[in-house]
A and B are shown apart, each in its own frame.
Chain A
Amino acid sequence: MIPTVPQPAFAKWCYRAYVVMFFIFLALPLTVVCVFAFNNSVFPALPWKGFTLAWFFGTEAPFIGVFNERAILRSIGTSAFVALWVSGLAVIVGTCNAFLFVRHDFRGKALLYMLMLLPLIIPGVILGISILVFFSSVANALEDTTGLWFDGLRPGLILVILGQFSFITTFATLVISARLQKFDPSLEEAALNLGASKWGAIWQITLPFLLPAIVASAVVSLLMSFENFNTTLMLVGSDAPLTITMFDKLKQGSTPVLNAVSVLLIMISAALGFFSLLFQKMKR
Protein backbone atom coordinates (compact mmCIF):
# COMPACT_ATOMS: atom_id res chain seq x y z
CA MET A 1 0.00 0.00 0.00
CA ILE A 2 1.96 2.99 -1.26
CA PRO A 3 0.76 6.09 -3.15
CA THR A 4 2.00 4.83 -6.52
CA VAL A 5 0.03 1.61 -6.29
CA PRO A 6 -3.71 2.22 -6.65
CA GLN A 7 -5.96 0.91 -3.90
CA PRO A 8 -9.73 0.77 -3.63
CA ALA A 9 -11.12 4.08 -2.34
CA PHE A 10 -13.01 2.33 0.45
CA ALA A 11 -9.84 0.74 1.87
CA LYS A 12 -8.10 4.11 1.73
CA TRP A 13 -10.89 5.81 3.65
CA CYS A 14 -10.96 3.08 6.29
CA TYR A 15 -7.23 3.44 6.75
CA ARG A 16 -7.52 7.20 7.11
CA ALA A 17 -10.37 6.84 9.57
CA TYR A 18 -8.22 4.52 11.67
CA VAL A 19 -5.35 7.00 11.71
CA VAL A 20 -7.72 9.80 12.75
CA MET A 21 -9.19 7.62 15.52
CA PHE A 22 -5.70 6.82 16.71
CA PHE A 23 -4.81 10.47 17.08
CA ILE A 24 -8.08 11.11 18.91
CA PHE A 25 -7.13 8.24 21.24
CA LEU A 26 -3.76 9.92 21.82
CA ALA A 27 -5.22 13.35 22.48
CA LEU A 28 -8.27 12.38 24.52
CA PRO A 29 -6.78 11.85 28.00
CA LEU A 30 -4.69 15.01 27.84
CA THR A 31 -7.63 17.03 26.57
CA VAL A 32 -9.97 15.97 29.37
CA VAL A 33 -7.28 16.61 31.98
CA CYS A 34 -6.89 20.17 30.68
CA VAL A 35 -10.60 20.84 30.25
CA PHE A 36 -11.57 19.77 33.76
CA ALA A 37 -8.99 22.08 35.29
CA PHE A 38 -11.45 24.86 34.46
CA ASN A 39 -14.62 23.19 35.69
CA ASN A 40 -16.37 24.95 38.54
CA SER A 41 -16.97 21.75 40.54
CA VAL A 42 -15.16 19.93 43.31
CA PHE A 43 -14.79 16.76 41.25
CA PRO A 44 -12.92 16.42 37.95
CA ALA A 45 -16.01 14.92 36.32
CA LEU A 46 -19.16 15.81 34.42
CA PRO A 47 -21.52 17.65 34.61
CA TRP A 48 -19.93 20.85 33.43
CA LYS A 49 -20.70 23.57 35.96
CA GLY A 50 -19.15 26.55 34.25
CA PHE A 51 -15.75 28.01 33.67
CA THR A 52 -13.52 29.01 36.57
CA LEU A 53 -9.91 29.80 37.30
CA ALA A 54 -10.40 28.97 40.97
CA TRP A 55 -8.31 25.80 40.70
CA PHE A 56 -5.34 27.97 39.82
CA PHE A 57 -5.85 31.09 41.93
CA GLY A 58 -8.61 30.24 44.40
CA THR A 59 -8.06 30.95 48.08
CA GLU A 60 -11.23 29.68 49.76
CA ALA A 61 -11.82 26.05 50.66
CA PRO A 62 -12.74 23.86 48.87
CA PHE A 63 -11.55 25.91 45.91
CA ILE A 64 -7.89 26.22 46.86
CA GLY A 65 -5.87 26.83 43.71
CA VAL A 66 -2.44 25.44 42.88
CA PHE A 67 -0.73 28.72 43.55
CA ASN A 68 -2.05 28.70 47.11
CA GLU A 69 -1.50 25.04 47.88
CA ARG A 70 1.72 24.80 49.90
CA ALA A 71 2.31 21.05 49.55
CA ILE A 72 2.18 21.18 45.77
CA LEU A 73 4.30 24.30 45.46
CA ARG A 74 6.93 22.81 47.73
CA SER A 75 7.02 19.56 45.78
CA ILE A 76 7.39 21.48 42.50
CA GLY A 77 10.43 23.14 44.07
CA THR A 78 11.78 19.76 45.15
CA SER A 79 11.27 18.33 41.66
CA ALA A 80 13.04 21.29 40.07
CA PHE A 81 15.95 20.92 42.48
CA VAL A 82 16.29 17.21 41.72
CA ALA A 83 15.87 17.75 37.97
CA LEU A 84 18.59 20.40 37.81
CA TRP A 85 21.06 18.20 39.64
CA VAL A 86 20.24 15.11 37.60
CA SER A 87 20.37 16.99 34.33
CA GLY A 88 23.68 18.69 35.16
CA LEU A 89 25.34 15.47 36.29
CA ALA A 90 23.95 13.43 33.40
CA VAL A 91 25.17 15.93 30.81
CA ILE A 92 28.67 16.15 32.30
CA VAL A 93 29.10 12.38 32.60
CA GLY A 94 27.37 11.87 29.24
CA THR A 95 29.81 14.22 27.50
CA CYS A 96 32.78 12.44 29.09
CA ASN A 97 31.34 9.10 27.98
CA ALA A 98 30.83 10.36 24.44
CA PHE A 99 34.50 11.39 24.20
CA LEU A 100 35.54 8.08 25.71
CA PHE A 101 33.53 5.94 23.30
CA VAL A 102 34.05 7.99 20.13
CA ARG A 103 37.67 9.06 20.55
CA HIS A 104 39.31 6.15 22.33
CA ASP A 105 39.92 2.53 21.58
CA PHE A 106 40.70 0.28 24.48
CA ARG A 107 40.35 -3.29 25.63
CA GLY A 108 36.88 -4.03 26.94
CA LYS A 109 35.30 -1.11 25.06
CA ALA A 110 32.47 -3.25 23.69
CA LEU A 111 31.79 -4.66 27.16
CA LEU A 112 31.79 -1.20 28.73
CA TYR A 113 29.44 0.06 26.02
CA MET A 114 27.06 -2.79 26.74
CA LEU A 115 27.22 -2.07 30.47
CA MET A 116 26.48 1.57 29.69
CA LEU A 117 23.28 0.48 27.89
CA LEU A 118 22.16 -1.83 30.71
CA PRO A 119 20.21 0.83 32.66
CA LEU A 120 17.85 0.99 29.66
CA ILE A 121 16.74 -2.59 30.15
CA ILE A 122 16.51 -2.63 33.93
CA PRO A 123 12.98 -1.81 35.13
CA GLY A 124 12.90 1.45 37.09
CA VAL A 125 11.47 -0.19 40.21
CA ILE A 126 14.40 -2.64 40.33
CA LEU A 127 16.89 0.17 39.83
CA GLY A 128 15.26 1.91 42.77
CA ILE A 129 15.24 -1.04 45.17
CA SER A 130 18.78 -2.13 44.29
CA ILE A 131 20.13 1.33 45.08
CA LEU A 132 17.98 1.47 48.22
CA VAL A 133 19.24 -1.89 49.47
CA PHE A 134 22.87 -1.22 48.61
CA PHE A 135 23.12 2.25 50.09
CA SER A 136 21.23 1.22 53.21
CA SER A 137 23.63 -1.65 53.85
CA VAL A 138 26.59 0.65 53.26
CA ALA A 139 25.05 3.12 55.71
CA ASN A 140 24.48 0.32 58.26
CA ALA A 141 28.05 -0.88 57.95
CA LEU A 142 29.46 2.64 58.26
CA GLU A 143 27.28 3.47 61.24
CA ASP A 144 28.23 0.24 63.00
CA THR A 145 31.95 0.86 62.56
CA THR A 146 32.13 4.62 63.11
CA GLY A 147 29.14 5.30 65.34
CA LEU A 148 28.26 8.34 63.21
CA TRP A 149 25.05 8.94 61.25
CA PHE A 150 24.99 8.72 57.47
CA ASP A 151 21.59 10.11 56.61
CA GLY A 152 22.65 10.97 53.06
CA LEU A 153 22.67 7.27 52.25
CA ARG A 154 19.14 6.76 53.56
CA PRO A 155 16.05 7.36 51.40
CA GLY A 156 15.94 11.04 50.54
CA LEU A 157 16.79 13.53 47.88
CA ILE A 158 20.40 12.42 47.42
CA LEU A 159 19.30 8.88 46.64
CA VAL A 160 16.52 10.16 44.37
CA ILE A 161 19.08 12.19 42.43
CA LEU A 162 21.48 9.24 42.20
CA GLY A 163 18.70 6.86 41.21
CA GLN A 164 17.46 9.06 38.38
CA PHE A 165 20.98 9.90 37.31
CA SER A 166 21.79 6.18 37.04
CA PHE A 167 19.61 5.68 33.98
CA ILE A 168 19.19 9.18 32.53
CA THR A 169 22.96 9.32 31.92
CA THR A 170 22.57 6.56 29.34
CA PHE A 171 20.24 8.74 27.27
CA ALA A 172 22.56 11.73 27.55
CA THR A 173 25.50 9.57 26.48
CA LEU A 174 23.66 8.24 23.42
CA VAL A 175 22.50 11.69 22.25
CA ILE A 176 25.89 13.37 22.70
CA SER A 177 27.83 10.42 21.19
CA ALA A 178 25.67 10.52 18.08
CA ARG A 179 26.58 14.17 17.54
CA LEU A 180 30.27 13.70 18.33
CA GLN A 181 30.45 10.94 15.72
CA LYS A 182 29.46 13.46 13.06
CA PHE A 183 32.28 15.80 14.08
CA ASP A 184 35.08 16.18 11.56
CA PRO A 185 38.34 15.73 13.52
CA SER A 186 40.25 17.77 10.93
CA LEU A 187 38.59 20.90 12.37
CA GLU A 188 40.21 20.19 15.69
CA GLU A 189 43.53 19.42 14.01
CA ALA A 190 43.34 22.76 12.20
CA ALA A 191 42.91 24.50 15.55
CA LEU A 192 45.92 22.61 16.90
CA ASN A 193 47.97 23.62 13.84
CA LEU A 194 47.01 27.21 14.43
CA GLY A 195 48.55 26.99 17.86
CA ALA A 196 45.62 26.09 20.09
CA SER A 197 46.25 23.86 23.05
CA LYS A 198 44.49 20.51 23.20
CA TRP A 199 41.97 21.81 25.73
CA GLY A 200 41.61 25.09 23.87
CA ALA A 201 40.72 23.22 20.68
CA ILE A 202 38.11 21.10 22.48
CA TRP A 203 36.71 24.12 24.32
CA GLN A 204 36.49 26.40 21.30
CA ILE A 205 35.81 24.00 18.45
CA THR A 206 34.42 20.66 19.63
CA LEU A 207 32.18 21.71 22.50
CA PRO A 208 30.40 24.45 20.52
CA PHE A 209 29.78 21.82 17.83
CA LEU A 210 28.30 19.52 20.48
CA LEU A 211 26.18 22.27 22.03
CA PRO A 212 22.89 21.36 20.29
CA ALA A 213 23.21 17.78 21.52
CA ILE A 214 24.21 18.95 24.99
CA VAL A 215 21.21 21.27 25.20
CA ALA A 216 18.87 18.61 23.82
CA SER A 217 20.07 16.00 26.30
CA ALA A 218 19.85 18.52 29.15
CA VAL A 219 16.23 19.26 28.25
CA VAL A 220 15.36 15.59 27.88
CA SER A 221 17.07 14.83 31.19
CA LEU A 222 15.17 17.62 32.93
CA LEU A 223 11.89 16.25 31.62
CA MET A 224 12.70 12.62 32.39
CA SER A 225 13.71 13.55 35.90
CA PHE A 226 10.63 15.69 36.45
CA GLU A 227 8.37 12.91 35.25
CA ASN A 228 10.13 9.96 36.79
CA PHE A 229 8.00 7.94 39.12
CA ASN A 230 9.12 4.32 39.49
CA THR A 231 12.69 4.85 40.64
CA THR A 232 11.78 7.87 42.73
CA LEU A 233 8.97 6.00 44.52
CA MET A 234 11.45 3.55 46.05
CA LEU A 235 14.03 6.13 47.09
CA VAL A 236 11.92 9.00 48.30
CA GLY A 237 12.27 10.26 51.85
CA SER A 238 10.33 13.01 53.55
CA ASP A 239 10.71 15.60 50.75
CA ALA A 240 8.48 14.32 47.99
CA PRO A 241 8.92 15.42 44.37
CA LEU A 242 5.82 16.44 42.45
CA THR A 243 4.95 13.07 40.90
CA ILE A 244 4.96 11.40 44.32
CA THR A 245 2.81 14.13 45.88
CA MET A 246 0.35 13.94 43.02
CA PHE A 247 0.22 10.16 43.27
CA ASP A 248 -0.58 10.33 46.99
CA LYS A 249 -3.31 12.88 46.36
CA LEU A 250 -4.69 10.84 43.49
CA LYS A 251 -4.98 7.77 45.70
CA GLN A 252 -6.92 9.75 48.30
CA GLY A 253 -9.39 10.98 45.71
CA SER A 254 -8.85 13.50 43.01
CA THR A 255 -9.85 17.14 42.94
CA PRO A 256 -9.45 19.52 40.00
CA VAL A 257 -6.34 20.94 41.68
CA LEU A 258 -4.55 17.96 40.18
CA ASN A 259 -5.90 18.93 36.76
CA ALA A 260 -4.57 22.41 37.26
CA VAL A 261 -1.13 21.05 38.21
CA SER A 262 -1.27 18.84 35.12
CA VAL A 263 -2.04 21.84 32.93
CA LEU A 264 1.00 23.60 34.37
CA LEU A 265 3.13 20.48 33.77
CA ILE A 266 1.92 20.21 30.18
CA MET A 267 2.75 23.87 29.63
CA ILE A 268 6.24 23.44 31.09
CA SER A 269 6.89 20.37 28.93
CA ALA A 270 5.63 22.15 25.84
CA ALA A 271 7.78 25.20 26.57
CA LEU A 272 10.88 23.06 27.07
CA GLY A 273 10.10 21.07 23.93
CA PHE A 274 9.68 24.22 21.85
CA PHE A 275 12.83 25.66 23.32
CA SER A 276 14.90 22.66 22.31
CA LEU A 277 13.35 22.56 18.82
CA LEU A 278 14.00 26.26 18.32
CA PHE A 279 17.53 25.92 19.56
CA GLN A 280 18.24 23.09 17.14
CA LYS A 281 16.77 25.06 14.23
CA MET A 282 18.88 28.09 15.14
CA LYS A 283 22.06 26.07 15.27
CA ARG A 284 21.53 24.45 11.89
Chain B
Amino acid sequence: MASDTSRLGFYLLLAPILLWLVVLIILPHIGLFVVSISEKIGPREYETGFGNYATFFGEPLYWRTFARTAIMSIAATALTLILGFPIAYYIAKLTRGRTKTTLFLMCMIPFWVSELVRTFGWMILLRETGVLSNFLQYLGLVNGPVEMLYNDAAIMVGLVYTSILFMVVPLVTTLDSLDDSLIEAGYDLGGSSAAVMREIVIPHAMPGIVSGCIVVFMLSLGNYLTPILLGGKDSLWFTGMIYTQFITRFNWELGSAFGFLLLALSSLVVFLGLKLSGRSLSETMGRS
Protein backbone atom coordinates (compact mmCIF):
# COMPACT_ATOMS: atom_id res chain seq x y z
CA MET B 1 0.00 0.00 0.00
CA ALA B 2 2.93 2.33 -0.63
CA SER B 3 1.78 5.35 -2.59
CA ASP B 4 1.89 9.11 -2.31
CA THR B 5 -1.29 9.28 -0.27
CA SER B 6 0.06 6.65 2.08
CA ARG B 7 3.27 8.69 2.42
CA LEU B 8 1.21 11.72 3.35
CA GLY B 9 -0.84 9.62 5.74
CA PHE B 10 2.36 8.39 7.32
CA TYR B 11 3.58 11.91 8.03
CA LEU B 12 0.17 12.92 9.33
CA LEU B 13 0.33 10.00 11.76
CA LEU B 14 3.89 10.80 12.71
CA ALA B 15 3.14 14.42 13.59
CA PRO B 16 1.03 13.93 16.75
CA ILE B 17 3.32 11.35 18.35
CA LEU B 18 6.41 13.46 17.68
CA LEU B 19 4.71 16.54 19.02
CA TRP B 20 3.63 14.65 22.13
CA LEU B 21 6.97 13.00 22.84
CA VAL B 22 9.19 15.97 21.99
CA VAL B 23 7.19 18.74 23.65
CA LEU B 24 5.90 16.89 26.70
CA ILE B 25 8.55 14.26 27.42
CA ILE B 26 11.95 14.87 25.83
CA LEU B 27 12.35 18.66 25.98
CA PRO B 28 10.98 18.95 29.53
CA HIS B 29 13.46 16.36 30.78
CA ILE B 30 16.35 18.09 29.03
CA GLY B 31 15.07 21.31 30.57
CA LEU B 32 14.93 19.69 33.99
CA PHE B 33 18.54 18.58 33.65
CA VAL B 34 19.69 22.02 32.49
CA VAL B 35 18.01 23.67 35.48
CA SER B 36 19.48 21.08 37.83
CA ILE B 37 23.03 22.02 36.78
CA SER B 38 22.53 25.76 37.11
CA GLU B 39 23.38 27.53 40.34
CA LYS B 40 21.78 30.75 41.40
CA ILE B 41 24.38 33.45 42.00
CA GLY B 42 22.08 36.44 42.02
CA PRO B 43 18.56 37.47 41.06
CA ARG B 44 17.96 35.91 37.61
CA GLU B 45 21.68 35.17 37.29
CA TYR B 46 22.89 31.61 36.99
CA GLU B 47 26.06 29.73 36.26
CA THR B 48 26.54 26.15 35.24
CA GLY B 49 27.87 23.69 37.77
CA PHE B 50 27.07 20.65 39.82
CA GLY B 51 26.55 22.61 43.01
CA ASN B 52 23.01 21.34 43.51
CA TYR B 53 24.19 17.76 43.38
CA ALA B 54 27.00 18.65 45.79
CA THR B 55 24.37 20.07 48.16
CA PHE B 56 22.49 16.81 47.97
CA PHE B 57 25.52 14.69 48.87
CA GLY B 58 26.75 17.19 51.45
CA GLU B 59 23.55 17.33 53.48
CA PRO B 60 22.87 14.04 55.32
CA LEU B 61 19.14 14.76 55.60
CA TYR B 62 18.84 14.76 51.80
CA TRP B 63 20.77 11.66 50.89
CA ARG B 64 19.53 9.73 53.90
CA THR B 65 15.95 10.45 52.87
CA PHE B 66 16.83 9.33 49.37
CA ALA B 67 18.33 6.08 50.67
CA ARG B 68 15.42 5.56 53.04
CA THR B 69 12.92 6.02 50.21
CA ALA B 70 14.82 3.53 48.06
CA ILE B 71 15.14 0.92 50.81
CA MET B 72 11.51 1.19 51.87
CA SER B 73 10.43 0.91 48.24
CA ILE B 74 12.49 -2.26 47.85
CA ALA B 75 10.94 -3.65 51.04
CA ALA B 76 7.46 -2.75 49.82
CA THR B 77 8.18 -4.48 46.50
CA ALA B 78 9.38 -7.64 48.23
CA LEU B 79 6.40 -7.67 50.56
CA THR B 80 3.99 -7.13 47.67
CA LEU B 81 5.55 -10.05 45.80
CA ILE B 82 5.36 -12.35 48.83
CA LEU B 83 1.75 -11.42 49.58
CA GLY B 84 0.60 -11.28 45.98
CA PHE B 85 2.15 -14.46 44.62
CA PRO B 86 -0.09 -16.94 46.49
CA ILE B 87 -3.15 -14.93 45.43
CA ALA B 88 -2.10 -14.88 41.80
CA TYR B 89 -1.34 -18.60 41.96
CA TYR B 90 -4.71 -19.31 43.52
CA ILE B 91 -6.55 -17.33 40.85
CA ALA B 92 -4.54 -18.76 37.97
CA LYS B 93 -4.28 -22.40 38.99
CA LEU B 94 -6.89 -23.32 41.59
CA THR B 95 -9.99 -21.65 40.19
CA ARG B 96 -11.84 -22.15 36.94
CA GLY B 97 -14.32 -20.31 34.78
CA ARG B 98 -16.68 -17.97 36.55
CA THR B 99 -14.98 -18.01 39.94
CA LYS B 100 -11.70 -17.11 38.30
CA THR B 101 -13.14 -14.11 36.45
CA THR B 102 -14.95 -12.96 39.58
CA LEU B 103 -11.87 -13.20 41.80
CA PHE B 104 -9.75 -11.47 39.17
CA LEU B 105 -12.26 -8.63 38.86
CA MET B 106 -12.54 -8.40 42.65
CA CYS B 107 -8.77 -7.85 42.76
CA MET B 108 -9.20 -4.93 40.38
CA ILE B 109 -12.16 -3.19 42.01
CA PRO B 110 -10.23 -1.26 44.68
CA PHE B 111 -8.03 0.18 41.99
CA TRP B 112 -10.85 1.74 40.06
CA VAL B 113 -11.12 4.00 43.08
CA SER B 114 -8.90 6.99 43.61
CA GLU B 115 -5.70 6.44 45.59
CA LEU B 116 -6.79 9.30 47.80
CA VAL B 117 -9.95 7.44 48.82
CA ARG B 118 -8.00 4.26 49.56
CA THR B 119 -5.47 6.15 51.67
CA PHE B 120 -8.29 7.92 53.47
CA GLY B 121 -9.76 4.50 54.24
CA TRP B 122 -6.51 3.42 55.86
CA MET B 123 -6.43 6.62 57.88
CA ILE B 124 -9.88 5.86 59.26
CA LEU B 125 -8.79 2.31 60.09
CA LEU B 126 -5.43 3.03 61.68
CA ARG B 127 -6.06 6.29 63.50
CA GLU B 128 -5.97 6.49 67.31
CA THR B 129 -9.75 6.80 67.38
CA GLY B 130 -9.95 4.50 64.40
CA VAL B 131 -11.69 1.24 63.70
CA LEU B 132 -8.79 -1.12 64.42
CA SER B 133 -7.89 0.60 67.67
CA ASN B 134 -11.49 0.31 68.85
CA PHE B 135 -11.67 -3.29 67.71
CA LEU B 136 -8.54 -4.22 69.66
CA GLN B 137 -9.94 -2.51 72.77
CA TYR B 138 -13.22 -4.34 72.30
CA LEU B 139 -11.35 -7.63 72.17
CA GLY B 140 -9.55 -6.62 75.34
CA LEU B 141 -6.12 -6.99 73.74
CA VAL B 142 -5.11 -3.45 74.65
CA ASN B 143 -6.18 -0.98 77.30
CA GLY B 144 -6.74 2.44 75.87
CA PRO B 145 -6.48 3.68 72.31
CA VAL B 146 -3.45 2.81 70.15
CA GLU B 147 -2.11 5.08 67.45
CA MET B 148 -1.20 3.00 64.41
CA LEU B 149 -0.97 5.89 61.99
CA TYR B 150 2.11 8.03 61.32
CA ASN B 151 4.81 5.39 61.38
CA ASP B 152 6.76 3.35 58.85
CA ALA B 153 4.53 0.30 59.20
CA ALA B 154 1.51 2.38 58.19
CA ILE B 155 3.40 3.66 55.14
CA MET B 156 4.25 0.06 54.26
CA VAL B 157 0.65 -1.11 54.53
CA GLY B 158 -0.44 1.77 52.32
CA LEU B 159 2.24 1.13 49.72
CA VAL B 160 1.51 -2.59 49.51
CA TYR B 161 -2.22 -1.96 49.29
CA THR B 162 -1.79 0.65 46.56
CA SER B 163 0.45 -1.40 44.35
CA ILE B 164 -0.59 -5.01 44.84
CA LEU B 165 -2.79 -5.06 41.75
CA PHE B 166 0.23 -4.29 39.59
CA MET B 167 1.91 -7.39 41.00
CA VAL B 168 -1.09 -9.72 40.85
CA VAL B 169 -2.17 -8.98 37.27
CA PRO B 170 1.12 -9.80 35.50
CA LEU B 171 1.58 -12.83 37.77
CA VAL B 172 -1.86 -14.20 36.93
CA THR B 173 -1.16 -13.71 33.24
CA THR B 174 2.14 -15.60 33.29
CA LEU B 175 0.90 -18.34 35.64
CA ASP B 176 -2.15 -18.85 33.45
CA SER B 177 0.12 -19.74 30.57
CA LEU B 178 1.85 -22.48 32.59
CA ASP B 179 0.45 -25.85 31.55
CA ASP B 180 -0.87 -27.88 34.50
CA SER B 181 0.66 -31.03 33.06
CA LEU B 182 4.13 -29.60 33.66
CA ILE B 183 3.32 -29.29 37.35
CA GLU B 184 1.85 -32.81 37.37
CA ALA B 185 4.99 -34.08 35.69
CA GLY B 186 7.03 -32.45 38.42
CA TYR B 187 5.07 -34.29 41.09
CA ASP B 188 5.13 -37.56 39.09
CA LEU B 189 8.89 -37.40 38.96
CA GLY B 190 8.92 -37.29 42.74
CA GLY B 191 9.29 -33.57 43.34
CA SER B 192 8.00 -32.15 46.59
CA SER B 193 5.70 -29.11 46.53
CA ALA B 194 8.66 -26.87 47.34
CA ALA B 195 10.77 -28.39 44.59
CA VAL B 196 7.99 -28.05 42.01
CA MET B 197 7.56 -24.42 43.03
CA ARG B 198 11.28 -23.71 42.81
CA GLU B 199 12.06 -25.66 39.64
CA ILE B 200 8.93 -25.22 37.55
CA VAL B 201 6.49 -22.55 38.70
CA ILE B 202 8.83 -19.72 39.69
CA PRO B 203 11.11 -19.99 36.61
CA HIS B 204 8.02 -19.93 34.43
CA ALA B 205 6.57 -16.93 36.28
CA MET B 206 9.85 -14.96 36.14
CA PRO B 207 8.75 -12.52 33.41
CA GLY B 208 5.65 -11.70 35.42
CA ILE B 209 7.63 -11.36 38.63
CA VAL B 210 10.11 -8.98 37.01
CA SER B 211 7.53 -6.76 35.37
CA GLY B 212 5.44 -6.73 38.54
CA CYS B 213 8.44 -5.81 40.67
CA ILE B 214 9.54 -3.04 38.32
CA VAL B 215 6.12 -1.42 38.31
CA VAL B 216 5.62 -1.75 42.08
CA PHE B 217 9.06 -0.35 42.85
CA MET B 218 8.50 2.63 40.58
CA LEU B 219 5.07 3.32 41.99
CA SER B 220 6.40 3.19 45.55
CA LEU B 221 9.41 5.35 44.81
CA GLY B 222 7.31 7.99 43.10
CA ASN B 223 4.42 7.84 45.54
CA TYR B 224 3.56 11.04 47.35
CA LEU B 225 0.10 10.63 48.84
CA THR B 226 0.59 7.45 50.84
CA PRO B 227 3.83 8.39 52.66
CA ILE B 228 2.68 11.93 53.37
CA LEU B 229 -0.79 11.04 54.63
CA LEU B 230 0.01 7.78 56.43
CA GLY B 231 3.51 8.71 57.54
CA GLY B 232 2.66 12.15 58.84
CA LYS B 233 5.11 15.01 59.12
CA ASP B 234 8.17 12.83 59.65
CA SER B 235 7.51 10.50 56.75
CA LEU B 236 10.71 11.70 55.04
CA TRP B 237 9.82 10.54 51.57
CA PHE B 238 11.91 11.86 48.71
CA THR B 239 8.99 13.02 46.58
CA GLY B 240 7.95 15.10 49.59
CA MET B 241 11.37 16.78 49.54
CA ILE B 242 11.01 17.52 45.84
CA TYR B 243 7.63 19.08 46.52
CA THR B 244 9.07 21.17 49.36
CA GLN B 245 11.91 22.49 47.19
CA PHE B 246 9.58 23.33 44.33
CA ILE B 247 6.48 24.67 45.96
CA THR B 248 7.41 25.73 49.50
CA ARG B 249 11.03 26.85 49.19
CA PHE B 250 10.79 27.84 45.53
CA ASN B 251 14.32 26.47 45.02
CA TRP B 252 13.73 24.97 41.58
CA GLU B 253 17.40 24.33 40.92
CA LEU B 254 17.83 22.04 43.90
CA GLY B 255 14.40 20.52 43.32
CA SER B 256 15.32 19.71 39.73
CA ALA B 257 18.50 18.01 40.90
CA PHE B 258 16.43 15.94 43.36
CA GLY B 259 14.00 15.08 40.61
CA PHE B 260 16.78 13.99 38.33
CA LEU B 261 18.30 11.78 41.02
CA LEU B 262 14.96 10.10 41.61
CA LEU B 263 14.52 9.59 37.89
CA ALA B 264 18.04 8.14 37.66
CA LEU B 265 17.38 5.66 40.46
CA SER B 266 14.06 4.62 39.01
CA SER B 267 15.56 4.18 35.52
CA LEU B 268 18.50 2.24 36.94
CA VAL B 269 16.16 -0.21 38.66
CA VAL B 270 14.10 -0.66 35.50
CA PHE B 271 17.31 -1.22 33.53
CA LEU B 272 18.66 -3.77 36.03
CA GLY B 273 15.31 -5.56 36.14
CA LEU B 274 15.25 -5.85 32.37
CA LYS B 275 18.88 -7.03 32.26
CA LEU B 276 18.11 -9.58 34.95
CA SER B 277 15.19 -10.99 33.01
CA GLY B 278 16.88 -10.57 29.62
CA ARG B 279 13.79 -8.93 28.16
CA SER B 280 13.22 -5.61 26.45
CA LEU B 281 11.13 -2.75 27.73
CA SER B 282 8.62 -3.27 24.95
CA GLU B 283 8.08 -6.91 25.90
CA THR B 284 7.74 -6.16 29.60
CA MET B 285 5.60 -3.05 29.52
CA GLY B 286 3.85 -3.44 26.19
CA ARG B 287 1.79 -6.37 27.36
CA SER B 288 0.21 -4.92 30.43
A residues apposed to B, CB below 8 Å: 1-5, 7, 15, 18-19, 22-23, 25-33, 36, 43-47, 92-93, 96-97, 99-100, 104, 106, 110, 112-127, 129-135, 137, 162-163, 165-166, 169, 174, 198, 223, 226-227, 229-230, 233-234, 243, 246-247, 250-251, 254, 258-259, 262, 265-266, 269-270, 272-273
Contacts and interface: CB of A to CB of B under 8 A. Distances in A.
A269 B110 CA distance: 10
Contact of A130 (B12, B16, B32): B32
Interface of B: 5, 9-10, 12-14, 16-17, 20-21, 24-29, 31-32, 35, 83, 86-87, 89-90, 93-94, 103, 106-107, 109-110, 112-118, 120-125, 127, 129-131, 134, 161, 164, 180, 183-184, 187, 193, 214, 218, 221-225, 229, 239, 242-243, 246-247, 252, 255-256, 259, 262-263, 266-267, 270, 280-282, 285-286, 288
A198 B223 CA distance: 46
A125 B242 contact: yes
A171 to B, nearest CB: 9
Given A123-B221, A125-B243, A133-B252, A23 B106 contact: yes
A131 B115 contact: no
- Interface core residue of B21, B229, B280 (most chain A CB under 10 Å): B21
B224 A229 contact: yes
A176 to B, nearest CB: 13
Contacts of A247: 116, 225, 229
Contacts of A18: 86
B21 A116 contact: yes
Given A2-B180, A100-B13, A243-B114, A114 B282 contact: yes
Contacts of A129: 32, 242, 246, 255-256, 259
Contacts of A119: 25
17 contacts: A5-B184, A27-B110, A28-B121, A29-B121, A45-B131, A92-B16, A114-B280, A121-B267, A122-B266, A123-B239, A126-B263, A198-B9, A229-B224, A243-B116, A254-B123, A262-B114, A265-B113
Given A126-B222, A126-B263, A269-B112, A96 B13 contact: yes
